[in-house]
Chain A
Amino acid sequence: MMRHWLTPALWLLVLVAGCLGLPALEPWLQPLVDGRQAVIYPRDSFVTLLLNHLQLVAISAAAATLVALGGGIAVTRPWGRDFLPMASQLASIGQTVPPVAVLALAVPVMGFGDGPTFVALALYGLLPILRNTLAGLQGIDPAVREAATGMGMSSSQVLLRVELPLAGRVILAGIRTSVTINIATAAIGSTIGAQTLGDPVIAGLVNGNTAYVLQGAVLIGLLAVTVDSLFEALEQQWLKRTPGLSG
C-alpha cells in the first residue's frame, strides 16, 4: 500500500542520523585535517543549517509555484492568451541563464543574506514550473476542453476538475525540477551570506579543511536525494489516484 513512501522515509532517517551523528565520526575524520584544525564544523549545528536550508527552499518553492501556476493559468485563459508566447519564451530563455549567475546578480541589487538568496531562488525556480504548467495545460486534448465547455461546465469547473488534474503530473515534474535546482543553488547561497548546509563546504574550501567540505557535501547530497525521492513517491501516489492516465 504505502510502499512508495518507504524510500523517502529511509533517506530521511539517514539524513537526520547524519545531522545528529556526524560529530561522533570525529576520530575517523581526523586524518583529513592537519593537527591544529578543528575536525567538526563548529559554527552552527548541522540541524540548524539543515532547517534553515529547508526553510529557504520550501518558502521559495511555494512562492514560485504560486506565481508560476497563476501565471501559467492566466496566459492560457482567453483573456490572457496574448501574453502566452511571451511567457513561454521567457520561461525557455530564462532557463538558459545559469542559476549561480542569478544568485550573483541578486547581490548588487539586494545585498547579502537570506533575503537575496530567497528572491533568486524564487525567481529562478518559477521558470521550470511555468514551462511545465504551460506544457501540461497545452498538452490537453482540445476535444476534452471543448466537450467540457460544450456540456455546460463553467470555466472554473473546467480548470479545477479537468485541466489541472490532467496537467497535474507534468506540473509536479516541473516543481520537482525547480526544487532540485533550488536545493543546489541554496547551498551556493552560502557564498552570499545565506545560512545553509553549504556553509561547512565553503568554510572548508576557504580554510583548506577537507573534513568540513566532506561533512557539508554529504549532508547536501543526502538532503537532495531525500527530497527527490519524496517527489518520486508523490508522483507514484498521483498515478495511483488517477489510474486513467497511466494506461
Chain B
Amino acid sequence: MLAPNRVILVLGAIALLLFCSLDFGTIQPNRIVEGTPYGALDALEWGGFALVTLLLAVTLVAAVLALPGRYWAILVSVVLLLMALPWLFSGFLEDQLGERYPYGRGGFAAGFWSLLFLLALMLVEGLRQVGASAWLRLTAGVLVLLSWWRALEVEALAGLSLVMEFQTRPDQFQQALLDHLALTLGAVMVSLLLAVPLVLVMIRRVRWQRPVFALVSFLQTIPSLALFGLLIAPLSYLSANLPLLQQLGIRGIGWAPAMIALVAYSLLPMVRNLFVALTEVPADLLEAAEGMGMNRRQVFLRVQLPLALPVVIEGVRMTTIQATGLTAVAALVGAGGFGTFIFQGLGQAAMDLVLLGALPTVALALAADTLFTALARLSARLNGATAQPSLIYE
C-alpha cells in the first residue's frame, strides 16, 4: 500500500498558499522610485494564475493519491513550472511596462522567490522518491536552465531590473567574474600546494601534528573582516618600504591581503582532508600491497592515492565553497569580484545591484559543490566503492 507523501503535500500546500497570498512581482517606473507590488492574480492575469495553480494542484493530488507513477506526475509538473516561470514573468513585464514606463523595470517579489525555493525542494524530494539516476537529475536541471537561458537570450526578461543592471555594466560583470574566479581558484591551488608538503611532514613527524592542526584551526576562527583588516597595516608598511613589492602590485589593499587571508582560511579544510585521506587508508591493505612485492612508489601511486582521492576532492570542494564566499567579503579591501557589486549596491541602496553580486556568488558556490561532488563520486566509483566519501563532522 502506498501512503500519501506528506513532504510533497506540505511543500505544495505552502507553495500554493504563498503564491496566492504574497506579492509576485514589483514594477518601478525608474531606478530610483519605490516599486509597486503586484499580487499573483494581478501580475499573471487569469491564464498564468490558472496554469500555476493547476500544476501545483496536480502535485497535491498526486501526493495524496496512492497511485503508482505518481512521482513522475509530480516531477513533470514541478519541472514544467520551473521552466514556465521566466516566461510567465516575461508576460507580466510586457503587460505592465510596455509603452507606459519606457524606463521602467520589474523585479521578483517574495511570492516568486518562495515559489522558486519550494519548487526546488519538491524537485529534490521527487527525484529522491523515484530513485533518480545522475542522468535524470542532470536532465531535469538542464531543462530548467535551458528554459531560463532561452528567456534571457530572446530578451524576454529585458525589463527585469537585474538584467538591466547587468546590461549597463557587462564589462564590469565579466571582470568581476574573472577576478572572483582567479582569487578563489588561486587560493585553493596555493593552499593545496602548501598543504601537501605540510601533511607529508606531519605524517613523518608525529610531533608536528598537534601544533599544525592547532594553528590552522586558530586561523579559521578569526573572522574574515578581522583578518583582512589586520593584514592592511603590515602590508602597506612593507609596500611603502620595499619598492620591489610595490612593483609587484602588493599594497595594503587589493588582491594581496585578500589572497593571503584566503589561503590562510583554506588551509584547515585542505590539511584536515589530506591528512585523513593519507592516514586512514587501512594499514593491512598497505601491508598486503607491500607483501605482494610492490615498492613504495607503486604502493603510493596504485593503492594509497586512488583510495585517498575522493577524500582529497571532498577537501577541495569544501575549500572552494568557503573561498567563494570569502572572496565576496574581500571586495571590502578592494580585491574585486562579485562582492564589489554587493557592497556598492548596499552603499547606494540599489537592491538590484546587490542581487547582481549576491546571486552569481551563490551560483558559483553551488556550481563548485555540484562539480566536486560529482568528481568525488566518480573517483570513488573508480575504486569500486559504492559509498560516498566519508563526511567529516566538526
Contact = CB atoms under 8 A, between A and B. Distances in A.
A144 interface: no
Contacts of B230: 214, 217-218, 221
Contacts of A85: 125, 128
Interface of A: 32, 82-83, 85-86, 89-90, 93, 96-101, 104-105, 107-109, 112, 131-132, 135, 170, 173, 177, 180, 183-184, 187-188, 191-192, 198, 201-202, 204-205, 210, 213-214, 216-218, 220-221, 224-225, 228
A194 B130 CA distance: 45
Q: Which 5 A-B pairs have the closest CB atoms?
A: A98-B325, A217-B229, A184-B223, A220-B226, A108-B351
A220 B325 contact: no
Contact of A132 (B227, B228, B393): B393
A135 to B, nearest CB: 5
B223 A191 contact: no
User: From DSSP, what is the main secondary structure of chain B's interface residues?
Assistant: helix
Interface in B3-37: 5-7, 10
A132 B369 CA distance: 19
Contacts of B365: 96-98, 101
A104 B358 contact: yes
B271 interface: no
Nearest to A213: B229
A217 B355 contact: no
Interface residues on B, range: 35 or more
A11 to B, nearest CB: 11
A98 B362 contact: yes
The residue among A101, A180, A210 with the most chain B CB atoms within 10 A of its own CB is A101
A9 B7 CA distance: 47
Contacts of A32: 233
A66 B152 CA distance: 42
Nearest to A177: B394
A19 to B, nearest CB: 15
Contact of A198 (B121, B225, B355): B225
B66 interface: no
B222 interface: yes
Interface string B287-328: 000000000000000000000000000000000010011101
A119 B202 CA distance: 42
B235 to A, nearest CB: 10
A170 B128 contact: no
Contact of A184 (B218, B225, B359, B393): B225
B382 interface: no
A168 to B, nearest CB: 14
B277 interface: no
A198 B346 CA distance: 15
A89 B124 contact: yes
Interface string B75-86: 000000000000
Interface in B321-369: 321, 324-326, 328-329, 332-333, 339, 342-343, 345-346, 349, 351, 354-355, 357-359, 361-362, 365-366, 369
Contacts of A220: 223, 225-226, 229
A192 B354 CA distance: 11
A185 to B, nearest CB: 8
A205 B6 CA distance: 51
